[in-house]
């Protein structure tokens, strides 16, 4: 009897790799360092579980930037339509929102995960929890630290699905990077940015949503929503710019962006008179309290423009990024061309967020995790025994 396949990591990429192997009739053992699988997947589902996106595939692939060429084969082989069919095959009907994003009708990850784990169990997949991968022993077997002590496992092939470095308390923490060559240091992606708010503004408006605004940077403008935090700003609108803003801050130390607080209006006019500035902004410009606060904050900081002009072009200086512990995802990781041949253990493949790619929110993150999980499993199945 041939040895089983090992999958290290029980997130979306690892579980999809395990399912693909098991559907091909292979024995599969999944190892995960946590007590429960797919913790980050469950966190992603708290806001609705955006599985994928319905836009044309070429536009979809462009969202991966420099990594698009590397990810193209995997996503073309397991595209959004295949992911939708897979979810519906687990009894989770999906719908496409007005933005083109695709969600399960349940708007949660937990029903899908329960059905998925039941399928994997029916396929004979074994899940070994609380197994932290420690590399290889002298014979090329996998080493794991467990609550009972170190154990070894000699598989027919190994698929690494170790995850990135965001939200480390939920599982993947990037510590595996010291065990492999060709790893680019992790950086936060889809994260918030720091702003030096005044204490008054931070105390009053932290946690307040900033709706129907537009952000402009480097000739690009996008509408969306954001959230004021005690030390900055986060949310989908800033996540859409996160990669370029992160790199600009790394180079310059800070970056200046512009907010349009009423992008639906071509111009804003304030009549002045006996009304306070706050009332003018609220009644005449139609600003929410937090948007009024932003204009007043800019004036206190010495902005040289009139209040009406600030409504349409409010300067905002971003002084840093929030850390990996709060980032939705991470950039960096194992290079696509990294040499994974390990002496005595040549059948080694990698997938998911541990690879060096990043993408905005909108379904692109999960799609690439699922697709690369399928691709890694198919590559492992195609590798003849005894070939490195």
What CATH number does residue 9 fall under? 3.50.50.60
pLDDT at 132 over 80: yes
Q: Mean of the pLDDT values across residues 95-123?
A: 96
345 compared with 210, residue with greater pLDDT:
210
Same domain flag for 177 and 40 = yes
Q: Which domain holds residue 152?
A: 5-188+329-382
In this prediction, residue 388 has a pLDDT band, given cuts at 50, 70 and 90, of: very low
Instruction: For the chain, state the CA radius of gyration.
Output: 24
Same domain flag for 179 and 225 = no
Task: Tell me if 388 is assigned to some domain.
Answer: no
pLDDT, mean over the chain = 94
Same domain flag for 182 and 197 = no
Task: Tell me if 270 is assigned to some domain.
Answer: yes
Question: For 313-369, how does the pLDDT look when each residue is reduced to its tens digit (9 = 90+)?
Answer: 999 999 999 999 989 999 999 999 876 755 555 579 999 999 999 999 999 999 999
Task: Tell me if 63 is assigned to some domain.
Answer: yes
Point out the domain boundary residue: 321, 349, 364: 321
Same domain flag for 250 and 273 = yes
Average the pLDDT over each of 11-25, 37-51, 373-387 and give the range with the smallest value.
373-387
What integer pLDDT is reported at residue 128 of this predicted model? Answer: 98
Task: Note whether 72 and 59 are within 8 A (CB).
Answer: no
Same domain flag for 149 and 164 = yes
Give percent above pLDDT 90 in the chain.
88
What integer pLDDT is reported at residue 274 of this predicted model? Answer: 78
**Token pair 């310059």 in the structure block, residue:** 252
Task: Tell me if 387 is assigned to some domain.
Answer: no
pTM, 2 dp? 0.92
What integer pLDDT is reported at residue 1 of this predicted model? Answer: 62
Same domain flag for 158 and 83 = yes
What integer pLDDT is reported at residue 342 of this predicted model? Answer: 57
Task: Tell me if 371 is assigned to some domain.
Answer: yes
What integer pLDDT is reported at residue 346 of this predicted model? Answer: 56
Task: Tell me if 49 is assigned to some domain.
Answer: yes
What integer pLDDT is reported at residue 387 of this predicted model? Answer: 42
Task: Provide the terminal-to-terminal Cα distance of the chain, rounded to the nearest Å.
Answer: 21
Same domain flag for 125 and 212 = no
Residue 332 in tokens:
């960096």
pLDDT at 377 over 50: yes
Same domain flag for 108 and 121 = yes
pLDDT at 200 over 50: yes
Task: Tell me if 240 is assigned to some domain.
Answer: yes
Same domain flag for 179 and 208 = no
Q: Mean of the pLDDT values across residues 127-145?
A: 95
What integer pLDDT is reported at residue 234 of this predicted model? Answer: 97
Q: Please count the structural domains in the chain.
A: 2
Same domain flag for 179 and 252 = no
Average the pLDDT over each of 124-133, 153-162, 331-340 and give the range with the smallest value.
331-340
Same domain flag for 48 and 197 = no
**Token pair 């992160």 in the structure block, residue:** 246
Task: Note whether 344 and 136 are within 8 A (CB).
Answer: yes
What integer pLDDT is reported at residue 289 of this predicted model? Answer: 97
What integer pLDDT is reported at residue 380 of this predicted model? Answer: 94
In this prediction, residue 386 has a pLDDT band, given cuts at 50, 70 and 90, of: very low
What integer pLDDT is reported at residue 241 of this predicted model? Answer: 96
């Amino acid at each position: 009897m041939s040895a089983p396949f090992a999958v290290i990591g029980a997130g979306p990429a690892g579980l999809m790799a395990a399912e693909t192997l098991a559907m091909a009739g292979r024995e599969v053992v999944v190892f995960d360092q946590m007590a429960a699988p797919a913790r980050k997947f469950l966190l992603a589902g708290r806001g609705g579980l955006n599985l994928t996106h319905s836009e044309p595939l070429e536009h979809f692939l462009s969202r991966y930037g420099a990594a698009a060429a590397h990810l193209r084969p995997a996503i073309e082989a397991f595209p959004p339509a295949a992911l939708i069919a897979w979810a519906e095959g687990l009894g989770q009907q999906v719908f496409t929102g007005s933005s083109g994003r695709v969600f399960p009708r349940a708007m949660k990850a937990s029903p899908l995960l329960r059905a998925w784990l039941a399928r994997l169990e029916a396929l004979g997949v074994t899940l070994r929890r609380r197994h932290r991968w420690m590399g290889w022993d002298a014979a090329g077997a996998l080493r794991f630290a467990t609550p009972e002590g170190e154990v070894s496992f000699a598989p027919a092939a190994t698929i690494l699905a170790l995850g990135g470095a965001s939200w480390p308390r939920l599982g993947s923490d990037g510590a595996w990077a010291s065990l492999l060559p060709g790893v680019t240091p992790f950086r936060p992606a889809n994260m918030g940015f720091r702003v030096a708010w005044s204490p008054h503004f931070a105390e009053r408006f932290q946690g307040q949503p900033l709706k129907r605004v537009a952000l402009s940077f480097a000739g690009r403008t996008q509408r969306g929503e954001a959230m004021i935090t005690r030390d900055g700003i986060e949310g989908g609108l800033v996540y859409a710019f996160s990669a370029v803003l992160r790199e600009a801050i790394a180079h310059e130390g800070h970056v200046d962006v512009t907010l349009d607080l009423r992008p639906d209006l071509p111009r804003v006019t304030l009549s002045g008179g006996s009304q306070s500035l706050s009332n003018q902004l609220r009644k005449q410009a139609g600003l929410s309290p937090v948007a009024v606060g932003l204009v007043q904050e800019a004036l206190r900081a010495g902005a040289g423009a009139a209040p009406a002009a600030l409504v349409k072009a409010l300067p905002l200086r971003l002084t840093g990024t929030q850390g990996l512990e709060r980032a939705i995802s991470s950039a960096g990781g194992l290079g696509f061309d990294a040499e994974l041949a390990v002496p005595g253990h040549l059948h080694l493949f990698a997938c998911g967020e541990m690879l060096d790619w990043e993408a905005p929110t909108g379904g692109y993150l999960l799609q690439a995790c699922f697709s690369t999980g399928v691709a890694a499993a198919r590559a492992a199945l195609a590798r003849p025994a005894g070939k490195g």
